[in-house]
Structure 1
């Protein structure tokens, strides 16, 4: 298993994110990802990134698929963000879950967000959509809850 320092997003992810955000802004993608806007911890500039939240027991969550992702670091620092889907924006408070709180959600992740499995498989974090492997990511991959403001 690779060390967290060695896990990098694929080269095509940033350009693909820009394409996805444009498609979402134009209303071409109504399901799936939304845009997470969070203030950069160093720049103070809003940083948008597409994420795919999932809902469990009426609460929304998101998993940081890469342990050292900038958006994860920014979210930790800011504690709040804006979620945008199409032309609708919603400010949220963000709570990072402890590993114990994250484990049951990570077990559900491969079923609720199957598109996220391929990213985590390619990065070497898991070998496939096995709940036990995802649960073992607790403490390595951040899990955040979005609370209404």
Structure 2
């Protein structure tokens, strides 16, 4: 799915531009690119792992959270800090307003039971949430 979005974005076929996270593959070390939705809350950015077994999540964890986030043609070294379930729940509760289509895909895949804020908050501890910090 992400490869398809990435190809569409590179071909100029999307009506919007998604930020692209690049992180080394956990086994190969080869840079892996994944388009992601980045949300903001209180001046901080965050990303949600809507599919908990996704390779990008495992790669980020293996890389100690270090990655590069490309937004609007600009590469930014970042540190992704995984939040505990208690800190993640309020952000997950807001996720349906950040990316309604993404939440529908999560529901359709059986990750969450519904597209409501309560259903997303119930996924805290299952769907990881990462705070995006600028890496020094």
Please indicate, yes or no, whether the TM-score normalized by the shorter chain is above 0.5. Answer: yes
Distance 1:32 1:100 in 2: 31
The TM-score normalised by the length of structure 2 is: 0.89
Is the 8 Å Cα contact of residues 95 and 147 (structure 1) preserved in structure 2? yes
Residues 72-101 of structure 1: CA distance to partner in whole angstroms, max 9, x if unpaired? 000111111101124211110110000011
Is the 8 Å Cα contact of residues 83 and 89 (structure 1) preserved in structure 2? yes
Q: Report the alpha carbon displacement of residue 29 of structure 1 after superposing the two structures with TM.
A: 5.4
Q: Report the alpha carbon displacement of residue 15 of structure 1 after superposing the two structures with TM.
A: 4.3
Is the 8 Å Cα contact of residues 2 and 35 (structure 2) preserved in structure 1? no
* Pick aligned residue for 1:107 from 93, 100, 110: 93
Q: Report the alpha carbon displacement of residue 19 of structure 1 after superposing the two structures with TM.
A: 1.9
What does residue 17 of structure 1 align with?
5
CA RMSD of superposed structures (Å)? 1.8
2:67 matched to 1:75?
Answer: no
SS at match of 2:34: strand
Q: Structure 2 regions of 5+ residues with no counterpart?
A: none
Is the 8 Å Cα contact of residues 82 and 91 (structure 1) preserved in structure 2? yes
2:31 matched to 1:46?
Answer: yes
Runs of 4+ displaced beyond 6 Å: none
Q: How many residues align?
A: 134
Distance 1:43 1:17 in 2: 23
What does residue 47 of structure 2 align with?
62
Distance 2:60 2:40 in 1: 19
